[in-house]
Chain A
Amino acid sequence: MVSDSLIGAALLEVRGASKSYPGVQALDAMHLDLRHGEVHAVVGENGAGKSTLMKLLSGIDRPDSGEFFLDGQPYTPTNPRHALELGISIIHQELNLMPDLTVAQNIFIGREPRAAGIFLSDRELNRRTRELLERLGLPLKPDDLVGDLTVARQQMVEIAKALSYNARVLIMDEPTAALNETEVQTLFGLIRRFVTPDTGVIYISHRMHELSQISDRVTILRDGRYIDTLDTASSTIAQVISLMVGRAINADQRPRAATGSGDPVLSVKGLNTKALVREVSFEVRKGEILGFAGLMGAGRTEVARALVGADRKNGGTVAVHGREVSISNPADAAKAGIGYLSEDRKRYGILLGRSVRDNVVLASLPKFANSLGFMQDNNVGRAARDFVSKLRIRTPSAGQLVQNLSGGNQQKTVVAKWLIRDCDILIFDEPTRGIDVGAKDEIYALLDELAAEGKAIIMISSDLPEILRMSHRIAVMCQGRLTAILDNADATQENIMHHATRFSAEGTVTT
């Protein structure tokens, strides 16, 4: 309390804010105080009220009751533009950039510098952008096309854009969701540089391990309610998680006894793609989870996509149960019993506007049609109901639209699709991306069960604790090459990172 009075009024304060949408109390008497010079983490499962809070702070929606204060003055944003002008910048999880415009055009969209009051001045635009990027120490060029940048760099553009408004409060929603370890550290560097005694950051995240690195305090939400605010330095991850989910979760586990003694189900030899993948060979055994670790862009997704024929292979053989198969499109892969669960579920995994029933049978329609092509809807319904209960997909009915399901249940829907197709080999690409902590455990349990049933599983993940927890063996990739395959017992975060960064930028080995 003494320190509070020394610092004075909070930079940003939320007092008793409530908001309900038809049928849901999204936020209930919420409290938050962001101090000057503080990085304040906000955590909570999906549906805990984080995004509602963001919507209220950015002026997209107005609270039903409660007040906001900025430096002790009432703060009532009427729209996102207004919030920006008052010094509050928000970086949403889904990046809002125009891929066909340059970095500079994106940053100054809507307030382009003019020449003679009419014409756009590219020179002035690029000059200002260069100044801004230099001030922030960002390795970007003003005239790069945003669409050509990696996700990490696109995020830097978003940050530069937010800071170009001279923001005092920066709110970041899951900024690291698509970043690898190195990129996360770059981001943290940026955040630390931004924070001065006059500014503050509200940092929303699912990744518990990051909180201790970047935040000073952490506020926990659950079911739209304020639960507690802790000093990060004096609290543990387990403590935060148990407040979040209302129960204890073991955060650092290793897989149950390795079951990977079975015969190889999938053998890949000398896989190449034109752009990136070089001579990748590995085997996955029955009942085994083979983790694929590596930095973003190391080529893990590319291996998976080439393997299932979504992208073209440039040499290499694939054998299933010892017999070589020729896979030139995803239909061939499905026939061979290989199912791919994309990292980008909404784009490549599910039909959002269709029902759970339609989604789970999508890969096996011929199995549910008679010889004239008529669908046997009774069988479809029965299979859908079976798998909804088997995988514990939480949905009012199999007729529910998938877009109304949570991320975890959408993921289970995709799993059901491949199980109904009788796939022996399942490739999970970032299976828990965008899925909240409680639901993650269910996905993990499901993966364990599938392995125990004898499926051969490949799990690509950028989350090292997840890799260590789930995989019996760990394949590490770096710049398109497989640099190591480690047994779980020998693997640590450190030696995985070592193998994931073995090549320097020039492509030579730096041991």
Chain B
Amino acid sequence: MTTISLKNRIPAKISGSLQQLFAFGSLIVILVFFSFASPYFFTTSNLVGILMAATVTGILALGTTFVIIAGGIDLSIGTGMILCGVMTGVFQTYWGWPVWAGVLGAVLFGGLIGFVNGFNISVLGIPPFIATLGMMLVASGLSLVISGTKPIYFKEHPEFQLLMNYSVIPGMRFPLGVLIFLILIVVAAVILAKTILGRYAYSIGSNEAATELSGVNVAKWKIIIYSMAGLFVGIAGVLAASRLSSAQPVGGMGLELEAIAAVVIGGTSLQGGKGSIVGTMIGALIVAVLTNGLRVTAVPQEWQSVVVGCVILVAVYMDILRRKRA
């Protein structure tokens, strides 16, 4: 009776991973290119350096992947991360908490930022873009107010910097921070692919109204998703502070866009409902490798964001082409 055309028989899984395959292929091409372009590029220390550079934005991108798959956006992660760094400084240096409590407190503080975002979006009904734009400015301002616009140094806890910088493999510079990043990738991938939270993120992103009418408490799950993204923000903030062994109250703006760029290059749709952690990580690596490679091959710094911008445009256009054909 009903003719099902050939293309419909291609299982969703294959066509969904095409974009990932493409992104992964691009990553390999870029790696090979820079390896030939500069003898300093494909060295262990440079590759670890790339991973270190990717750690903070990468962790931000992990949480953001959930938010974007659920059809939302979070612009507050960049300055929110700075604020979490300041908070761990406040806890450890001003209030004299032990390192573990200071770290835990800052991570939970990130969760609180996310919770407020989620509450504003799903209970008060403020559009995600506006709600998190507001939070971005609030966090940026609070960092300055709380720190008195000065960096906070971890004078009482010099060991705090080990969290990011401790070398886990003897004789080689492989920092603990990068290991934490790798573990978080696995954790995020498992949550997204294997748990009820991940399943609801995809459902809400594909059709929020239908999910709600199916008896799912969408408001609750959106708060959970934003709160979880906030926890990732907290972790990123702590690691950034540990790396410099000081909490810098300035900056962070623009980091959220870098994280969103990584998510989008990895094939996650800004309309929600589609995406994966693997894709996001490939996206984050593409951005980090490009930035590093351009620096190692002595391309002037002002050109780097031009290239990254073009990569985003090409990646998203490829995705649109793929969808048209599908």
A interface residues (Cβ-Cβ under 8 A, vs B) = 21-24, 45-47, 223, 308, 310, 329-331, 333-335, 339-340, 342, 347-355, 358, 362-363, 365-366, 369, 372-375, 377, 394, 396-397, 399-401, 404, 406, 409, 417, 421, 438
Cβ of B184 < 8 Å from any Cβ of A? no
Contact B213 A351 (CB under 8 A): no
Which residues in A have their C-beta under 8 angstroms from that of B274? 353
Interface of chain B, helix or strand or loop or mixed? Answer: helix
Cβ of B210 < 8 Å from any Cβ of A? yes
A350 CA to B210 CA, complexed, in Å: 6
Which residues of B (196-224) have their CB < 8 Å from a CB of A? 196-197, 199-200, 202-203, 206-207, 209-217
Stretch binding the partner chain, chosen from B4-12, B132-140, B168-176, B310-318: B4-12
State how many angstroms separate the Cβ of B307 from the closest Cβ of chain A.
32
A409 CA to B2 CA, complexed, in Å: 10
What's the tally of chain B residues with a CB closer than 8 Å to chain A? 33
Nearest A residue (CB) for B191: A373
Contact B207 A350 (CB under 8 A): yes
Cβ of B13 < 8 Å from any Cβ of A? yes
User: A23 with B196: in contact, given A329-B217, A351-B210, A417-B214 (CB under 8 Å)?
Assistant: no
Contact A352 B207 (CB under 8 A): yes
State how many angstroms separate the Cβ of B319 from the closest Cβ of chain A.
14
Nearest B residue (CB) for A46: B2
Nearest B residue (CB) for A366: B196
Contact A399 B12 (CB under 8 A): yes
Which residues in B have their C-beta under 8 angstroms from that of A310? 212-213
Interface centre among A46, A339, A351 (most CB of B within 10 A): A351
A344 CA to B260 CA, complexed, in Å: 33
A329 CA to B213 CA, complexed, in Å: 8
A399 CA to B10 CA, complexed, in Å: 10
Contact B12 A334 (CB under 8 A): no
Interface centre among A339, A349, A353, A396 (most CB of B within 10 A): A353
Question: Which residue in A223, A365, A417 is a CB contact (below 8 Å) of B199?
Answer: A365
Nearest B residue (CB) for A334: B215
Contact A404 B4 (CB under 8 A): yes
User: A353 with B200: in contact, given A24-B3, A340-B213, A404-B4 (CB under 8 Å)?
Assistant: no
A357 CA to B309 CA, complexed, in Å: 38
A339 CA to B214 CA, complexed, in Å: 8
Contact B6 A362 (CB under 8 A): no
Contact B211 A362 (CB under 8 A): yes
Which residues of B (1-34) have their CB < 8 Å from a CB of A? 1-9, 11-13
User: A369 with B216: in contact, given A23-B6, A354-B202, A396-B8 (CB under 8 Å)?
Assistant: no
Which residues in B have their C-beta under 8 angstroms from that of A351? 202-203, 206-207, 210-211, 273
Which residues in B have their C-beta under 8 angstroms from that of A45? 1
- Identify 6 residue pairs between A and B in the complex whose beta-carbon atoms are under 8 Å apart, listed by A's number: A24-B3, A330-B215, A339-B215, A347-B209, A396-B9, A399-B11
User: A347 with B210: in contact, given A333-B215, A334-B215, A373-B197 (CB under 8 Å)?
Assistant: yes
Contact A362 B194 (CB under 8 A): no
State how many angstroms separate the Cβ of B76 from the closest Cβ of chain A.
26
Contacts A331-B215, A365-B199 supplied; 12 other A-B pairs, CB < 8 Å: A330-B215, A335-B215, A340-B213, A342-B210, A351-B203, A351-B206, A354-B202, A354-B273, A373-B197, A375-B195, A394-B4, A404-B8
Which residues in B have their C-beta under 8 angstroms from that of A409? 2
Contact B12 A362 (CB under 8 A): no
A142 CA to B215 CA, complexed, in Å: 42
State how many angstroms separate the Cβ of A371 from the closest Cβ of chain B.
11
A329 CA to B217 CA, complexed, in Å: 8
User: Chain B 183-198, CB within 8 Å of chain A: the 1/0 string?
Assistant: 0000000000011110
A421 CA to B213 CA, complexed, in Å: 13
Contact B4 A363 (CB under 8 A): no
Question: Which residue in A47, A339, A363 is a CB contact (below 8 Å) of B2?
Answer: A47
Nearest A residue (CB) for B325: A22
Contact B203 A354 (CB under 8 A): yes
Contact B5 A21 (CB under 8 A): yes
